Amino acid sequence: MSNQPHEITCHSEGFEFEPAPTPQTEIPNASLLPMSIPPKLLAAWQIENEPAKRYIIVTYQATNCYLEYVYGGHSDSYRVYFVFIGHFAVAIHLIDCDLGSDDSYPVYGLLLDQQKNQIWLGQYIYIKRFLTKWREYTYPEPVLTLEQREQIQRNLREFYQELVQDGNELPQLSAQEFGELVQARMKLEQEAICAITEYLDQYLTTALKIAEERLQEAKGNGDYQVMMYLSSLIYRLKQRQN
C-alpha cells in the first residue's frame, strides 16, 4: 500500500480529484443482478451498515460461507447462505460460476454494495483487487515517521496482551444462558430465511424467463450438462407455481 496521500492536481478552473474505484470500472465483465440485497440477510450475518462495510464479498471457503470487507472477514451461517444463493432467482445467474466448495477455491464471488443496495457478480480475483483498491482510496494509509510506526506497533501489542488477560476473567455462560443464546440465534436465522425467500420469490417469473432463454442457447450450443440442469430447475419451478 502506498504511504503517500492522494495527489490533487490544480488547474486554473479548480481542483481535479482522483475518482473513486467502482465495480463497473474495476471488475472486468461484472454483472449486476436484477435484485437488491434481501432484507435481514446482512443482519443474520452480523454485518452492520457502516462505511467500512459498504462492500461485502460473499463466497464459500473453509467449509462455510465466508464474508469479507475492507478490514477483515469471518465465516457465518451456511443455512442463510444456502437459502440466498440457492434460491432460483439468484441461482439462475450463478450457472458455471463457482463460488467455492469444500474442495475448491472460489473462482467467482458476489459483491454486495450496502450504500447502493446492489448485488454484483464477478471473478473473485478481480473483486478482491477492487476491494483493496477501494480501501486504499477511501482509507489511505497516513504518512508516518519510523518512530510513529514503531509506537503504533507497541500500542497494538499491549492492547492484545490486555485483551487476552481480560478475556480470561470473563464470566462463563451457564448451560441455560448458552441454550438461550443459541435459541435466539436460530430464531434470528429463521426470520431472515423467511424474509429472504419472500423477497426473492417476486423475481421468480423473471428468473423463469431467463432460464428458458438460456435453455434454448444451451440446446443450440449442444451443452447437454447445462441443458439437464436448466430443465430440472424449470420443471421444479413450474411444479412449485402450480
Is 57 a member of any domain?
yes
- Look at the chain and count its residues: 242
pLDDT in tens, 9-34: 444 455 556 788 999 999 999 999 99
Q: Helix crossing, 204-221 with 224-241: angle to 10°?
A: 150
User: Does residue 213 fall inside a structural domain?
Assistant: no
pLDDT of residue 20: 87
Are 208 and 236 a contacting pair, CB within 8 Å?
no
The tally of domains found in the chain comes to 1
What pLDDT does residue 11 have?
44
Position 216 in a domain: no
Return the pLDDT at 83. 95
pLDDT for 5: 45
- pLDDT for position 168: 59
Is the residue at 223 inside a domain?
no
Residue 22 lies in a domain: yes
Flag whether 100 is in a domain: yes
Asked whether residue 38 is assigned to any structural domain, the reply reads yes
Q: Which domain holds residue 28?
A: 9-139+175-202
Q: What's the pLDDT score for residue 98?
A: 95
Q: Would you state the pLDDT for residue 12?
A: 45
Between strands 72-76 and 108-113, the pairing is: unpaired
Q: What's the confidence (pLDDT) of residue 134? A: 93
Residue 74 covered by a domain: yes
pLDDT of 143: 83
Give 10-residue mean pLDDT values along the chain (242 residues): 44 62 94 96 92 94 92 91 94 93 94 97 97 90 86 88 69 77 87 95 90 87 83 78 65
List the one residue out of 59, 40, 83, 79 whose CA is nearest residue 201.
83
What are 178-220's pLDDT values in tens digits? 787 888 888 999 999 999 999 999 999 888 888 888 888 888 8
For the record, the C-alpha cell of 88 comes out as 432460483
